[in-house]
Structure 1
Amino acid sequence: MEVVASKTRKGKLLPANGVFSSPVFLALSLQLLAFVLSYLLYAADRWQFGSLLSPYFLLAVHAGIAATLSFLLGMSWWWWLIQFTFPFAVVASLVFQLHPGFSLSIFLLLVLLFWSTYRTQVPYFPSKSSLLPCILEQLPARNDLRFIDIGSGFGGVSISLAKMRPEQSFFGVEVAPIPWLVSWLRAAVLSKKLRFYLKDYLELDFADFDVVFAYLSPVAMPGLWEKVRSEMRPGAIFMSYEFKVPGVEADLIIKSNLNDPDLYIWRI
């Protein structure tokens, strides 16, 4: 564990909002554009060469265009994968004549598992175990400490910390139903001082917590910082793993291992 930097500068930034800034809207737009371009290639091939290109080649071109455009526009790597596999999945469902109920079941499962990705543009990021000692070292030792992990996923961070500090209270908040249910069941077995909420963290009052931990995404950080500054009490601690607040230097930057992301800490 290494302290990378220790500086302070408070700041303020506003997030960009709107339907047209959503990665989902952008992904669908790129799929449509890829379809148009691949169809133009099909039409040109049919007109000039008598349908020399195979349908599978055109399908690969469609997928490649969608994935390449996603990369060029700076979308995250999981979107490249989704964009590339989506047209193949659609064609496969038609070729194998999958029952509509099967497709619906898969869709509902993905919605329940990745609902937070669609709503908040924040994908699921599992935290590394090497992060826990870094967090633990920064937590005050008092018994009435209240810690919350926003976007807690399956609850790994809060559950692990609760085992190390059973006298303190640990919470998590998650909007995706399946990860929340798993973490809620684990908490029900382990400790009364461990609790997980199924809701958006924007509905919480950060003044109720002494430490707020986040492992979200660059998209969420400006708006999250505004909430931190307006609600957290003086002396409270805000932690962000890997993603820093744009334009706002952290009071402390810690790296657990050489190849691990940084843990950014702000003291309010």
Structure 2
Amino acid sequence: MLYPTETCQNRAPELLLKKTLVVLPSSILATYLLGIILPWPITLLHAVWLQGLIAALASYYLLHMPIWWAAIHLLFFPALLSASLILNLPAYWYLAGFITLLLIFGRIHRTRVPLFLSSQEAVDALAGLLPQDHQFKLIDLGSGCGGLACKLAQMLPHGSYHGIETALLPCWISKLRALLSRQDCQFEWESIWQHDLSGYDVVYAYLSPVPMPRLWEKARREMRPGSLFISNTFTVPSIEPDRCIRLDDFSSAVLYIWRMA
């Protein structure tokens, strides 16, 4: 459903992400400082529950996050410690887990972009915005496992689809998916900042609040007049979209749409 610009701002997922990025390091730092200040020794078990309690209280009372987020903050590190003690895993399992996370999420500490997967509702809404009777080129910045591009290629085979992903494992999953589907989909393991956007009719992104101002400036420099810049969930600060579509998916996301001048 299309909404006027002034009624389509849904920043709940964006705000939750920002608040989570504040709560976790702050609660860990507070726990460390308390461990130094308090006159009695704190065991590892005490520390993880203290961190969880601080994170839960801060998220609920200070940042006004939902109660279920407070529960997640309370139990996250205690659950990790419990799993470690109960399963009694050898040390190399933790290394394997770290490498697996690195392959899945890439350099998230630098990009500040987690792995988001576009919903089927987003795919359907995007398909309705694309040309129905002539060729076009679409690029998905942060294409994840390639689901959006491959699904669109099946729905609108006259389009050409390109994906850019910085995480290695999702990129290779995308390549395999494109190979098996035999659609016009190409995926590259590359930084979005190194890829030229001038050759595309539609640029789609589902990233995070952090890169949006810089990405908007890149789009303004490189995209052709009349082409579409579409962002799932995360808007560009101080830049009103031309249109937006509220999605009836699990996160009530919004597609923000700009037609480049």
* 1:89 matched to 2:80: yes
- Alignment counterpart, residue 62 of structure 1, candidates 16, 35, 51: 51
Report the secondary structure of 1:266's partner residue: strand
Q: Which residue of 1 aligns with 2:2?
A: 3
Q: Which residue of 2 aligns with 1:10?
A: none
Q: Which residue of 2 aligns with 1:180?
A: 171
Give the gaps of 5 or more residues in structure 1. Answer: 8-22, 47-52
Q: Give me the identity figure in percent.
A: 36
- Structure 1 residue ranges (4+ consecutive) displaced by more than 6 angstroms after TM superposition: 23-26, 77-80
Give the deviation of 1:242 after TM superposition: 1.2
Give, as a single letter, the amino acid of the residue that structure 2 aligns with 1:125.
F
* Match runs of 1:18-167 below 5 Å: 27-28=24-25, 30-41=27-38, 43-44=39-40, 56-66=45-55, 68-69=57-58, 72=62, 81=72, 85-86=76-77, 89=80, 93=84, 98-141=89-132, 143-167=134-158
Cα 1:254–1:192 shift into 2, 3 Å: closer
TM-score, with structure 1 as normaliser: 0.77
Tell me the matched-pair count.
245
Structure whose CA Rg is larger: 1
- Asked if the contact 1:151/1:172 (under 8 Å) is kept, the reply is yes
* 1:232 matched to 2:223: yes
Give, as a single letter, the amino acid of the residue that structure 2 aligns with 1:254.
I
Greater RCO, 1 or 2 (C-alpha within 8 Å, sep 6+): 1
Give the deviation of 1:235 after TM superposition: 1.1
Q: Which residue of 2 aligns with 1:12?
A: none
TM-score, with structure 2 as normaliser: 0.79
Give, as a single letter, the amino acid of the residue that structure 2 aligns with 1:164.
M
Give the deviation of 1:24 after TM superposition: 7.8
Cα 1:66–1:159 shift into 2, 3 Å: same
Give the deviation of 1:120 after TM superposition: 0.9
Give the deviation of 1:66 after TM superposition: 4.4
Q: Which residue of 1 aligns with 2:252?
A: 260
